[in-house]
Amino acid sequence: MILASNSKRRQEILRDMGFNFKVLTSDIEEISDKEEISEMILDIAEKKLDKIAKENVNEFVLAADTVVELEGRIFGKPKSREEAESFLKILSGKTHKVITAYVLKNISKNIIIKDVVISKVKFFDLDDETINWYLDTSEPFDKAGAYGIQGQGRALVEKIEGDYFAIMGFPVSNFLKNLRKNGYKISQIDRI
């Protein structure tokens, strides 16, 4: 399998489940003309996958994308400490959605599996000291919404509803369920 993602979290989740894969990525502009957020995220995941799948028609290629959404506003990866601080202040004390979309494709076998998983995360009320402590960890800067639930960012989270691994970046249980629906057994995951 080819993973069309540089995300360390996705790699860790898949490796821990026994998937064998190599990482290949293509530079795409992560934009979409879709209006609905879930469709937009799925469209971006498909764009990440397209070029690599066309160049590797006999391989299974997997791509995913994750965003944080609150009241219609999308929070991607912050571009600066100031932007990360702004994100955390806006999310403080509120429940936001974490939307993760993925696509698995094998062109020669005419297989395409895709889905969108939406989870909810509620943050504690965050004071300036907590926000600055978290920013000083440098953890927020390569993560949608400026936090990582699997790291020190867990200190910001009051509760979650939904799939923990989707919040981390890849909904592995949903993915395995969709593989089974398409005739693959869990014992075959090292060969997908």
Which secondary-structure segment (H or E) carries 105?
strand 95-106
Coil, strand or helix: which one is 14?
Answer: helix
Per the CB < 8 A criterion, the answer to whether 15 and 93 are in contact is no
- pLDDT digit string, tens, across residues 84-96: 999 999 999 999 9
- Smallest CA-to-CA distance from 80 within 137, 146, 27, 147 is with 146
Q: How many residues does the chain have?
A: 192
Whether 134 contacts 88, CB under 8 Å = yes
50-68 confidence digits (pLDDT tens): 999 999 999 999 999 999 9
Q: Which residues are catalytic?
A: 65
What is the domain range of residue 144? 2-191
1-5, 82-86, 159-163, 181-185: least confidently modelled range: 181-185
Per-residue pLDDT averaged across 176-188, rounded? 88
Read off the pLDDT band of 26 (50, 70, 90).
confident
CA gyration radius for the chain?
17
Q: Place 99 in a pLDDT band, splitting at 50, 70 and 90.
A: very high
**pLDDT at residue 27 above 90?**
no
Residues 37, 127, 145: CA angle, nearest 5 degrees = 20
Tally of domains within the chain: 1
Could you tell me the CATH number of the domain that includes residue 157? 3.90.950.10
pLDDT, tens digit (0-9, with 9 covering 90-100), for 160-176: 999 999 999 999 999 99
Angle between helices 128-136 and 81-91 (to 10 degrees): 140
